[in-house]
Amino acid sequence: MKTITTILVIFISAFTFAQTVPDSLQTNPQNQQNAAQRILSGNINSGVTVGGYGEIVYNQPEGDNGTLDVHRLVLLFGYKFNDKVQFVTEVELEHVEEVYVEQAFLQYSLNDYVNLRGGLMLVPMGIVNEYHEPTTFNGVERPSVDKSIVPSTWREVGVGVSGRFNEISLGYQAYVFNGFKSVNSDGNGNITAGLLGGSNGLRGGRQKGIESTINKPNFSTKLDYYGVPGLRLGLSGYFGRTQAGDDVDMIDGADVGISMIGVDARYAYQRFTARGQFITANISDTEAYNNLNGTNLGSKLEGWYVEGAYNFLPQDKAQQLFAFARYEDYNTQAGVEGSLVKNSAYDRNDLTLGLSYKIAPGAVVKADYQIKDNASSIDVPNQLNFGLGVWF
């Protein structure tokens, strides 16, 4: 199946509202902004900026009942105290009933090149973790690489710097964050659960700013180069160790080390767009961690995808109709330590074929079909998806 899907891909290859038009699927990636960046770059002198984005999705796996879900509704608020100081927050409602704060940070602009930030922020890794508004990516669902490997939406509390040097076409970010939480404990020196594992990798350890524990700061950085017309290249890094509570952090196997590297590319030329990324993470001390917690965390997580899309409507039209194909290959047990045996069901690949119809700037209707496979003999049902997305 891997060979077939790869061949297919080769052949299909005061209140003020936000002042800029939302990113659409054809936006020049050199100038692409996410919701927080739009608020920070808004052309108001002071006061409140409001906005939002949301997704309603229908998933129909083969042979099973379908699900309808108001997947997320995010309310955006920004406040500009003066020309140097701004605050940005996103309040997210997931599946109607779950409420999270996705971002909440204060930015102080020293000059045109350096901004200081502190608060709850997105970890700059890959593309979708930062640019996940529904009008900025093809497909009803976010790429699986950005769920199982990165994992989106990955945000933690930290401080750092960001900025751009337009003279050399380079953007940068560098932050110190609290890390993933690796275990739960009862406060009396007993570990009650390991939070990291084979199927979803590090995803279960995201602390999301919820009474986050920290004992070992982690470092995150990203460089973006946009010196070639229509092209944007990214290089990301994340390094540190997971976090454990005071009562158990000295126990051997209570935490693991993480070294994650990502490279990504986005390209746009007339009615054609393409993107791709590769993420690899080396996890140390997994043998002790798995032995202590009865988990199956791999010592290496790895994934990549490539995507191409073409707009079938004239470029001078406000509406756009993109047909796209995306191929992903990702493995949450690309490496293992000790006696742990690789589970071939975690070596997965997806081929997604679909349409994205932008009916207006900031409003999109999506449909796609996903062909899912893995390296084991276990069949994975393919899936049909429909979705509505807005960003304003």
> What does the pLDDT read at residue 46?
77
> Which DSSP string do the residues of 224-284 spell out, in sequence order?
EE--STTEEEEEEEEEEE-B--TTTTTSTTS--EEEEEEEEEEEEETTEEEEEEEEEEEEE
- What pLDDT sits at residue 19? 39
Domain limits, the chain: 18-52+70-308
pLDDT value, residue 28: 79
pLDDT at residue number 357: 97
Q: Give the model's pLDDT for residue 11.
A: 31
pLDDT at 27: 64
Q: Residue 369's CB: how many other CB atoms inside 10 A?
A: 14
Partners of 335 in beta bridges: 300
What does DSSP assign to residue 134? G
- pLDDT at residue number 4: 41
Per-residue pLDDT of the chain (392 residues; tens, 9 = 90+): 444 444 333 333 333 333 344 555 556 788 888 999 988 988 777 789 999 999 999 999 999 999 999 999 999 999 999 999 999 999 999 999 999 999 999 999 999 999 999 999 999 999 999 999 999 999 999 999 999 999 999 999 999 999 999 999 999 999 999 999 999 999 999 999 999 999 999 999 999 999 999 999 999 999 999 999 999 999 999 999 999 999 999 999 999 999 999 999 999 999 999 999 999 999 999 999 999 999 999 999 999 999 999 999 998 898 999 999 999 999 999 999 999 999 999 999 999 999 999 999 899 999 999 999 999 999 999 999 999 999 99
The CATH code for residues 18-52+70-308 is 2.40.160
265 vs 256: CA distance, rounded Å? 30
**Residue 80: its pLDDT value, please?**
95
Q: What is the pLDDT of residue 44?
A: 74
> What is the pTM (predicted TM-score) of this model?
0.92
* Separation between Cα atoms, residue 78 and residue 34, nearest integer Å: 13
